[in-house]
Amino acid sequence: MAIRAPKTEDIVKAAVSVGLKAELQPSVAHPRYPWIKTGYVLVEAKEPKAKVLKLIASKLPRGG
């Protein structure tokens, strides 16, 4: 179920496709790498985090 480097846009599309409200914050960087603006995805859900992650992961495109 692991995907090496999912794109934030793909995560947003996957979250929306399972009926979740998702918002992309594109110009945010990880504190350890402030020069790399990878962004993050904010997902609004009422389900437990593990369930939400599995739902989103099931809809992410598989490379290969």
| Spatial contact of 60 and 14, defined as CB atoms under 8 Å apart | yes
HEC secondary structure over 2-34: CCCCCCHHHHHHHHHHCCCEEEEECCCCCCCCC
For residue 4, the model assigns a pLDDT of 82
pTM of the complete model: 0.83
Tell me: the pLDDT tens digits for 22-63? 999 999 998 999 999 989 999 998 999 999 999 999 999 876
**Considering only the top CATH level, what class is 8-59?**
alpha beta
